[in-house]
Amino acid sequence: MLRVGLTGGLATGKSLVGRALASHGCHLLQADELGHEALEPGGGAYDTVIEAFGREILAPDGRIDRRLLGSRVFANPQDLERLNELVHPIVIAQQQVWFDELERRDPRAIGVVEAAILIETGSYRRFSKLILTVCDPVQQIERAMKRDGLSREEVLRRLERQMPLEEKRRYADYVIDTSGEKSATLAQVARLYDTLRSLEP
């Protein structure tokens, strides 16, 4: 089985590329969704995150307010590091379970894990190949503001906590540039899928 990591900066088109790879036959796991589940009541990180950051991060319904938590941790590198320490081990363990089950079912599968900070956490080493999505920096900011309802200042603060895209390129086996039309991105993905399929799992 081929284990592939898919990463990129904020709002660079990771999910679009992930869905496109899945449409070609790859198996896709979105690590951010696992992280969200870990923060839900009863999730693996729910209690420890509240203990670390206080009950003021809770919404009236008892759920963790992820936007409130995000605004706090992206303003403080130590808080962001602490949150990652609490959530990432849970996410990585679940990824491993998913890979093991996928390999049991289909030894020739291409398993793709989409995650925002694979490089920053060192998790990229767990994959045979690493795909990086990039786009024009101005587009990146505009996309993040539109998608997440964030101010320009909030987007810039989050970008400051991520490794610059140019630096991430040094780690990537493949780069998908999403700056152009959607059709151009999908054409790049189709060629990449053919390349991945040609590799011995």
List C-alpha distances in Å: 149 to 144, 145, 195: 8, 5, 36
- Cα 49 to Cα 90: distance, rounded to the nearest angstrom: 12
List C-alpha distances in Å: 65 to 14, 35, 51, 79: 24, 13, 14, 15
State the number of CA atoms in the 13 A half-sphere of 128 facing the CB: 13
The single-letter DSSP state of residue 55 is: G
User: How high is the pLDDT of residue 66?
Assistant: 94
Residue 56 has pLDDT above 70, yes or no: yes
State the number of CA atoms in the 13 A half-sphere of 126 facing the CB: 17
User: How high is the pLDDT of residue 200?
Assistant: 64
Using the CB atoms, write b or e for 26-36: b if 16+ within 10 Å. bbbbbbeebbe
The pTM assigned to this predicted structure is: 0.91
User: How high is the pLDDT of residue 117?
Assistant: 87
- Of 15-19, 70-74, 110-114, 130-134, the range with the lowest mean pLDDT is 70-74
Q: What is the pLDDT of residues 110-121, one digit of tens each?
A: 999 999 889 988
Q: What is the pLDDT of residues 139-165, one digit of tens each?
A: 999 999 999 898 999 999 889 888 999
Domains of the chain as residue ranges with CATH: 2-198 (3.40.50.300)
User: How high is the pLDDT of residue 162?
Assistant: 87
- Cα 24 to Cα 143: distance, rounded to the nearest angstrom: 25
User: How high is the pLDDT of residue 127?
Assistant: 97
Average pLDDT over residues 14-18: 97
User: How high is the pLDDT of residue 75?
Assistant: 87
